[in-house]
Amino acid sequence: MAELKRLPDAELAVMQALWQAGRPLTRPELEAMLAPAHAWAPTTVLNLAVRLEGKGFVTRRKAGRGNLIEPLVTREEYLAVESRSALERMFGGSARNLVAALHQCHALSRQEIRDLTDYLETLSREETEG
């Protein structure tokens, strides 16, 4: 698979709907999933799917008179790209800077700090054992 690029918000909304569905969708099904938040015309949804196909994120295959749109990239694969991109762009690639920023704006509760501490200790143990 080619290197994944960060998606614009509209294309990401389509991918999120496909991931949430957990199965290939027709354009009308995809429109219905997007409808509460996005009142896009059918041609807009189709154009977004075509763009995503061109980028290697989805495949479209004929099914009756329409197409089924299926993700080729998992949510986890994209999350890894998006997380790394945000970390690089906003925090100089430093996870410590990210946590410091969250702390400074009071975005972390005491419980979240404990959870992060436990998680980091688990990762540290796995590193030394593995």
Whether the predicted pLDDT of 1 surpasses 70 = no
Question: Hey, what long-range contacts does 22-26 have (CB within 8 A, 24 or more apart)?
Answer: 23/70, 24/61, 24/68, 24/69, 24/70, 25/68, 25/69, 25/70, 26/63, 26/66, 26/67, 26/68, 26/69
Q: Which pLDDT value is given to residue 5?
A: 86
What's the pLDDT tens digit per position in 32-71? 999 989 989 999 999 999 999 999 999 999 988 889 999 9
Kindly give the residue spans of alpha helices, DSSP state H, lying in the chain. Answer: 9-21, 27-34, 42-54, 75-91, 95-104, 110-129
Whether the predicted pLDDT of 73 surpasses 90 = yes
Whether the predicted pLDDT of 12 surpasses 80 = yes
Q: Which amino acid makes up residue 14?
A: V
Q: Which pLDDT value is given to residue 2?
A: 54
